[in-house]
């Protein structure tokens, strides 16, 4: 007994020794991918955004419940369907000590929306700001966005844009902004060790962040390190060894281990990525809704969620996350029923079953294989074909040859607004419509929702469209996985966010 205690003590001491006793509090995040660039306007990459969002703030942001709230803006008003006014917060400092003005806001958004505004290049984020006509300074404290056409999701999309300093950007140029920062966020850049780590330290003149998200004030920790560890096993090991305080994308399989460890815990939040199997609605056999419904009945979602995802996902009966705007909670579920599925398949003219292929990216191979095994049981004999993401994407492009049978697919919806997932994946011919689904009624509802300014009416339009899609079953509806984080128990004040950002302003370490 005694020896066991001393062994534990020895291990505890060993764990403490290799890390040089840090005077300053330091929080380390084990992250999956390095930032591609440090220029907030020159990427379309979630991981890059997650890192940058700790250095830069946006006009607006989201609280823990995903509600859009002011950040660098003090408030905003919609003057008419095409005009938004933003009141700029006073006394916001950039990391170099200069004061942010309305000019910086105008500059930032012109850089995002004007062709060739980034040293000859156009921002790849341009269309995330919507159909902007002009951005003007009304007075020292007000900036006005004028749109070409109504676009009700503008406020929902603004949290993904970060505000840069006009003077600094003009000094270092767009090339310079790729590796240097002069942000206005809670942390400033110390060093970017590319491919390895991004080291940040607290910005002491921080204005405090959004007043709607307590606590307001300087960041809690002195330093933050985003350490890039793409390998899952390594990330988990780093957490268990106490080298990392927060790790992103904890594999479900390793949750038990993290829970069992005395110093770590698992934190989850509903993600924003809907998984589904796109069925080729334009071609036999899946042009027949009965076959599509049979496929939906064949898949035992509950079992896969239970055994492979270990309970970390919500089953879906449609396209939207339960947290999304306009989610319809009353959609009927396709219950798992082998006999009924077989009967339906026979009714559709396939009493002896049929042979099809299921395309998937290597990352989802095991889940695709599990789904395929279940489909095979009712007579939809499914062969899984693992391809490279880009090859499959080309094969399933809405403008392509439409030759595939099934595609194990997913779509992220960081804004949690249907405009960002429902429209692209299910509107006739839209760019993510990999099922080649076309229903005029659905199109009409989606188009109407896109310009509807009354939010209650808009939600209602989406709810109606969901009922139609559920009945047509253009996909095998699968699930919405949770984002899983492994967190050290010495971290307080931090909650995972549904938009998969890791905001560290409020996080403290003991």
Residue of 69, 216, 237, 346 that binds another protein (CB under 8 A): 237
Neighbours of 23 (CB within 10 A): 7
Q: How far apart are CA 354 and CA 365, in angstroms?
A: 22
* Distance (Å, whole) CA 458 – CA 451: 8
Q: Which stretch binds another protein (CB under 8 A): 75-83, 347-355, 411-419, 442-450?
A: 411-419
Give 344 or 421: the residue with its C-beta nearer to another protein.
421
Cβ count within 10 A of residue 492: 12
Pick from 21, 27, 47, 19: nearest CA to 35: 47
Q: Which is nearer to another protein, 257 or 290 (CB)?
A: 257
Please enumerate in sequence order all residues whose Cβ is within 8 A of that of 466, keeping only pairs 6 or more positions apart, or say none.
318, 319, 320, 326, 327, 328, 331, 422
Asked if 244 interacts with another protein (CB under 8 A), we say yes
Minimal distance in Å, beta carbon 387 to another protein?
Answer: 6
Residues 300-319 that bind another protein (CB under 8 A): 303-304, 307-308
Smallest distance, Å, CB 37 to another protein?
6
Q: Which of 172, 397, 448, 467 binds another protein (CB under 8 A)?
A: 397
- Three-state SS for 185-225 is CCEEEEEEECCCEEEEEECCCCCCCCCCCCCCCCCCCCEEE
Cis (ω within 30 of 0) for the bond into 351? no
Instruction: Give residue for tokens 């790790």.
Output: 247
Could you give the 3-state DSSP secondary structure of residue 385? Answer: strand
388 by Cβ neighbours in 10 Å (0-12 / 13-18 / 19+) ranks as exposed
State the minimum distance, in angstroms, from the CB of residue 231 to another protein: 4
Residue (of 134, 132, 96, 118) closest to 43 by Cα position: 118
Single residue of 56, 187, 411, 485 touching another protein by CB under 8 A: 411
Q: How far is the CB of 393 from another protein (least distance, A)?
A: 6
In angstroms, the Cα distances linking 86 to 101, 157, 353, 473 are 12, 14, 60, 42
Instruction: Between 68 and 236, name the residue whose CB sits nearer to another protein.
Output: 236
With CB under 8 A as the contact rule, the residue among 12, 44, 283, 335 that binds another protein is 44
Q: What is the DSSP string of 458-480?
A: HHHHHHHHHHHHHHH--EEE-EE
Q: Residues 391, 441, 447, 451: which binds another protein (CB under 8 A)?
A: 391
439 and 89 Cβ atoms separated by less than 8 Å:
no
CB neighbour list of residue 110: distance below 8 Å, 6 or more residues apart: 117, 135
Residue 191's DSSP bridge partners are 199
Q: How far is CA 75 from CA 88, 107, 143, 418, in A?
A: 8, 19, 11, 25
Stretch touching another protein by CB under 8 A, among 56-64, 79-87, 391-399, 469-477: 391-399
Stretch that binds another protein, among 13-21, 73-81, 97-105, 440-448 (CB under 8 A): 13-21
Comparison of 142 and 488: residue with beta carbon closer to another protein: 488
Instruction: Kindly write out the interface string for residues 199-218 of this chain, putting x where it contacts another protein by CB under 8 A and - elsewhere.
Output: x-------------------
412 near another protein (CB under 8 A)? yes
Q: Quick one: which of 88, 384, 416, 502 contacts another protein (CB under 8 A)?
A: 384
Interface with another protein (CB under 8 A), residue from 82, 167, 172, 178: 178
Torsion, Cα 461 466 467 473, to 10 degrees, reads 150
Element spanning 146, H or E: strand 142-147
By the rule CB under 8 A, 289 interacts with another protein = no
Q: Which of 229, 266, 341, 435 touches another protein (CB under 8 A)?
A: 229
Task: Point out which span in 19-27, 290-298, 436-444, 452-460 binds another protein (CB under 8 A).
Answer: 19-27
Q: Nearer to another protein by C-beta: 83 or 121?
A: 121
What's the min distance (Å) between Cβ of 166 and another protein?
21
> Which of the ranges 52-60, 190-198, 284-292, 473-481 carries the binding residues for another protein, by CB under 8 A?
190-198
Positions 342 through 381 that interact with another protein (CB under 8 A) = 362, 365-366, 369-370, 372-373
Which of positions 118-177 make contact with another protein (CB under 8 A)? 121-122, 124, 126-128, 175
Binding residues among 76-115 for another protein as defined by CB under 8 A: 115
């Amino acid at each position: 007994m005694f020896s066991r205690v001393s062994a534990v003590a020895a291990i505890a001491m060993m764990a403490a020794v290799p890390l040089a006793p840090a005077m300053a509090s330091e929080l380390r995040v084990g992250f999956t991918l390095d930032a591609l660039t440090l220029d907030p306007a020159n990427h379309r990459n979630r991981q890059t955004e997650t890192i940058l969002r700790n250095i830069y703030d946006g006009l607006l942001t989201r609280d823990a419940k995903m509600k859009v709230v002011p950040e660098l803006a003090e408030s905003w008003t919609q003057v008419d369907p095409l005009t938004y006014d933003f009141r700029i917060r006073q006394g916001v400092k950039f990391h170099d000590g200069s004061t942010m003005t309305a000019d910086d806001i105008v500059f930032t958004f012109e850089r995002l929306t004007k062709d060739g505004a980034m040293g000859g290049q156009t921002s790849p984020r341009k269309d995330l700001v919507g159909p902007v006509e002009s951005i003007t300074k009304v007075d020292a404290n007000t900036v006005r966005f004028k749109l070409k056409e109504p676009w009700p999701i503008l406020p929902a999309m603004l949290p993904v844009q970060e505000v840069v300093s006009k003077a600094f950007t003009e000094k270092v140029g767009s090339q310079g902004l790729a590796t240097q920062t002069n942000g206005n966020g809670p942390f400033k850049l110390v060093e970017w060790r590319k491919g390895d780590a991004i080291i940040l330290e607290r910005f002491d003149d921080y204005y405090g962040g959004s007043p709607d998200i307590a606590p307001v004030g300087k960041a809690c920790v002195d330093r933050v390190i985003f350490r890039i560890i793409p390998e899952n096993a390594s990330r988990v090991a780093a957490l268990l060894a106490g080298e990392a305080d927060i790790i992103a994308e904890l594999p479900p399989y390793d949750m038990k281990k993290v829970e069992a460890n005395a110093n770590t815990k698992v934190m989850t939040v509903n993600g924003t990525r809907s998984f589904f199997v796109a069925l080729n609605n334009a071609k036999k056999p899946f042009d027949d809704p009965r076959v599509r419904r049979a496929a939906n009945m064949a898949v035992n979602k509950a079992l896969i969620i239970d055994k492979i995802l270990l309970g970390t996902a919500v089953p879906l009966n449609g396209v939207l996350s339960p947290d999304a705007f306009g989610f319809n909670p009353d959609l009927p579920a396709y219950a798992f029923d082998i006999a009924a599925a077989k009967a339906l398949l026979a009714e559709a003219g396939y009493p002896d079953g049929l042979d099809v292929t299921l395309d998937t990216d290597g990352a989802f191979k095991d889940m695709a294989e599990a789904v395929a095994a279940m489909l095979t049981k009712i007579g939809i004999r499914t062969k899984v074909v693992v391809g490279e993401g880009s090859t499959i994407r080309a094969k399933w492009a809405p403008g392509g040859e439409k030759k595939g049978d099934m595609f194990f697919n997913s779509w992220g919806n960081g804004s949690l607004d249907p405009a960002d997932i429902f429209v692209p994946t299910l509107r006739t011919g839209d760019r993510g419509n990999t099922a080649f689904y076309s229903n005029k009624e659905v199109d009409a509802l989606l188009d109407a929702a896109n310009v509807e300014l009354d939010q209650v009416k808009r939600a209602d339009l989406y709810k109606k469209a969901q009922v139609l899609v559920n009945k047509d079953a253009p996909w095998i509806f699968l699930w919405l996985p949770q984002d899983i984080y492994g967190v050290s128990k010495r971290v307080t004040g931090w909650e995972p966010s549904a938009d998969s950002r890791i905001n560290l302003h409020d996080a403290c370490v003991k």
